[in-house]
Amino acid sequence: MSASDVTLPAPAAQDLLGLPAPAFHLAMLVLAAAAFGFILWKRARLLLQGAPDPRLDRIGTRLARLLFLGFGQARQPRYPAAGVLHILIFAGFLILSLRSLTLLGEGFSAGFALPGLAGRAGAAYASLKDWTALVVLACCVVAAVRRALFAPARYHDRHARKSHAREAYVILGLISLLMVADALYEGAALAGSGGAGPRLPLASAAALCLGGLPDAALGVLHLSAFWIHNAALLFFLCYLPVSKHFHVITSLPNVFLLDLRAGGAVKPPRHGAVDQGAAEALGVGRLEGFTWKHLLDFYTCTDCGRCSDQCPAYATGTLLSPRMISIKCRDLAYQCFPLLGATVPPEERPALVGDVIAAGEIWSCTTCGACEEVCPVLIEYVDKIVDLRRFLVDQGDVPPSLQKPLAALEKHGNPYGKMARKRGDWAGGGEEGGSGVRVLKEGESADLLFFTDSCVAYDPRLQRIGQALGALFGAAGLDCGTLGKDEVDSGHEARRMGEEGLFETLRDKNLEALGRRTFARLVTADPHAMSALKNDGYGLAQPILHHSQLLAELLAAGRLVPGPLGDERVYTFHDPCYLGRHNGEFAAPRAVLSALPGLRLVEMARARSRSFCCGGGSLYLFSEVECEARMGELRLCMAEEAGAQVIVTACPFCLLNLEDAIKTSGREGRMEVLDLAELVVRSLNRGVVG
């Protein structure tokens, strides 16, 4: 503490409202702690009723993620301006928390210092704290001005019924008040003792302003600033859990409790249930149906709008805004589990599905995961959407456009309703195709099993991907077979549409067919199929590859020798959601592209984990979602902005959606979409010729 303590009265030494300061301070603390504890207890009631969700495995990994994503604020810089402001304020929050404790201590004992913060360390901390307070104050001013005058579009959600702007200003005001009050508390002391200097910039500035005031006035100011600071601090604490700034308390736990399952996996209908089908109703139809962690997500949402800013369904004007799922569920939670009064019984509440969240929102999601990738506090959306769909499916409430493909999956094993017998025909003739892929009968074996999935097996355009891959496997001398008519759909979309029972039926059929053949590795051209086979409980022992991974391997080993493409056009790679974002494979397709001589490649602004969904795969091709623009057309615009004329992708559905977008937007002849395999075949043919 500075020399001022000699001249100005210490807060702890004064009586207040007839009480000794420590007693008054204790009363304040007890009151605040009681209010805070009461609010948290009320908030926790709902969490305690949530569905089970095991989140305490792999503690080491969780701590590392907490350090990186929580304390390290690793996702903040995705939005540079807001991100830097937040990182500075958050760092300030951590540094100044020691100061807050110190000031709470000073209410009891004059000249209180935290252990280890006396003497030289204390002086160093005092300087650090003062500089930090200056930075935080500046950040608050910038943030307020930014919100008032230069607010990003994402702050206002077009589906929002009310704004949380007022809460934001209250919080910025409270933080600023804390900074200013502390500056006045110290500044008054400095003005009395003349200890101002660059070591304490904010307090010195305050001292400068207060210079010339009589000692008595400085004393009053010193004491008032102290009490205002501590009162504001305790009010702040209790205000957090009733505002969108609950995240100040819940976000670090929420990050620690993140979903550590493989990317792209969907949660089981109920964690820990032996028979998933046994429950009376499946999915989530009311608040308590969500897992406790998913309820904690709702509390944790900061309303920053980044999820919806990244969401392709929001960008194309559908009913869905992921942010609003959190906000509306939180509003419902606060309404049904009020701070004062009894819990509203389920039959008196608005219906979660229908009144609060419309079916149209639930069916608009492509499960691309862009929202989850960007959320700074790791809120999960895809699992919630799937749980809500499970409820709708269980109630029989499925849009007619989706009922047909689902019924076809059940009857024929493919969403098109084509004959199961024709599933292997794409390979050419059914038996030994000219493509280098043969249909394996039961008991036969091959080094490589090519899992086609329904789209590549039946769609005439997508069969060409299978044929291109077959040609490449042939050229590389691989021994490759498929299941032919014994394969059924991987069930990836059925599961994500909430039809868990159908998914299980399909998976079991595939497992039976796979179990009757011997193979060392499995490859597929469809990232959705790859993701399902890897992450949706197939439990296969063999490695499961995406064709981009296998092609990268074959090119690196020299088993495929590409030639110069001789194409002046500029290429770009579109990351499929289930290859990149959900399964973390960004490198393999790029390794393939960079192995092709003479390819002019650019990256789109939204590449890799920020990739923008093409419109979704499989059953999404059948769904009719009301929208203003098509995701595929927006993606073409992004490719154009990057200066590309050819979009290379590695997913059959991306190919279909983007090709359709080229036609519907009149870009035929100007743009082209290719699968990675098709491009390698082109390059290989050049290689042979050249």
Question: Binding of other proteins at residue 665 (CB under 8 A)?
Answer: no
Contacts of 553 (CB under 8 A, 6+ apart): none
Contacts of 358 (CB under 8 A, 6+ apart): 319
Closest contact distance (angstroms) between CB of 423 and other proteins is 11
Site string for other proteins, 505-534 (x = CB under 8 A): x-----------------------------
Segment near other proteins (CB under 8 A); pick from 76-84, 369-377, 498-506, 672-680: 498-506
Contacts of 209 (CB under 8 A, 6+ apart): 187
Closer of 323 and 423 to other proteins (Cβ): 423
Q: Is 18 left (phi over 0), alpha (psi -120 to 50) or beta?
A: left
Question: Binding of other proteins at residue 19 (CB under 8 A)?
Answer: no
Question: Binding of other proteins at residue 625 (CB under 8 A)?
Answer: no
d(CA 576, CA 411): 29
Closest contact distance (angstroms) between CB of 413 and other proteins is 9
Question: Binding of other proteins at residue 417 (CB under 8 A)?
Answer: yes
Which residues lie across from 277 on neighbouring strands? none
Closest contact distance (angstroms) between CB of 411 and other proteins is 4
Question: Binding of other proteins at residue 460 (CB under 8 A)?
Answer: no
Closer of 513 and 544 to other proteins (Cβ): 513
Site string for other proteins, 350-389 (x = CB under 8 A): ----------------------------------------
Closest contact distance (angstroms) between CB of 399 and other proteins is 9
Closest contact distance (angstroms) between CB of 441 and other proteins is 17
Contacting residue, 146, 286, 418, 516, with other proteins by CB under 8 A: 418
d(CA 131, CA 641): 43
d(CA 463, CA 466): 5
Strand (E) or helix (H) holding 485:
none
Contact call for residues 588 and 548 (beta carbons, < 8 A): yes
Contacting residue, 83, 201, 501, 537, with other proteins by CB under 8 A: 501
- The CA distances from residue 241 to 36, 70, 105, 463, 581, in Å, are 8, 19, 24, 55, 32
Closest contact distance (angstroms) between CB of 285 and other proteins is 14
Closer of 215 and 397 to other proteins (Cβ): 397
Give me the residue label for tokens 């819940």. 250
Give me the residue label for tokens 């899992």. 451
Using the Cα atoms of residue 99, residue 103, residue 104 and residue 105 in order, give the sign of their dihedral.
positive
Closest contact distance (angstroms) between CB of 627 and other proteins is 21
Question: Binding of other proteins at residue 429 (CB under 8 A)?
Answer: no
Residues numbered 266 to 305 that lie near other proteins (CB under 8 A) are 277, 282
Instruction: Find the DSSP H helices in 2-118.
Output: 4-7, 21-49, 59-65, 80-106
Which residue type does 59 have? I
Give me the residue label for tokens 């993701």. 531
d(CA 623, CA 605): 29
Using the Cα atoms of residue 201, residue 205, residue 211 and residue 214 in order, give the sign of their dihedral.
negative
Contact call for residues 51 and 271 (beta carbons, < 8 A): yes
Question: Binding of other proteins at residue 419 (CB under 8 A)?
Answer: yes
Segment near other proteins (CB under 8 A); pick from 318-326, 403-411, 525-533, 586-594: 403-411
Give me the residue label for tokens 């021994």. 479
Q: Phi and psi of 584, rounded to 5°?
A: 70, 15
Question: Binding of other proteins at residue 499 (CB under 8 A)?
Answer: yes
- The CA distances from residue 93 to 137, 229, 325, in Å, are 11, 15, 29
Segment near other proteins (CB under 8 A); pick from 22-30, 122-130, 180-188, 410-418: 410-418
Question: Binding of other proteins at residue 559 (CB under 8 A)?
Answer: no
Closer of 61 and 403 to other proteins (Cβ): 403
Contacting residue, 248, 502, 560, 654, with other proteins by CB under 8 A: 502
Contacting residue, 303, 394, 633, 678, with other proteins by CB under 8 A: 394
Closest by Cα among 418, 401, 399 to 489: 418
Question: Binding of other proteins at residue 170 (CB under 8 A)?
Answer: no
Closest contact distance (angstroms) between CB of 416 and other proteins is 6
Closest contact distance (angstroms) between CB of 367 and other proteins is 19
d(CA 276, CA 137): 53
d(CA 530, CA 615): 19
Closest contact distance (angstroms) between CB of 393 and other proteins is 5
Segment near other proteins (CB under 8 A); pick from 32-40, 43-51, 400-408, 681-689: 400-408
Closest contact distance (angstroms) between CB of 651 and other proteins is 24
Contacts to other proteins by CB under 8 A: 277, 282, 393-398, 400, 403, 406-408, 410-412, 416-421, 499-502, 504-505
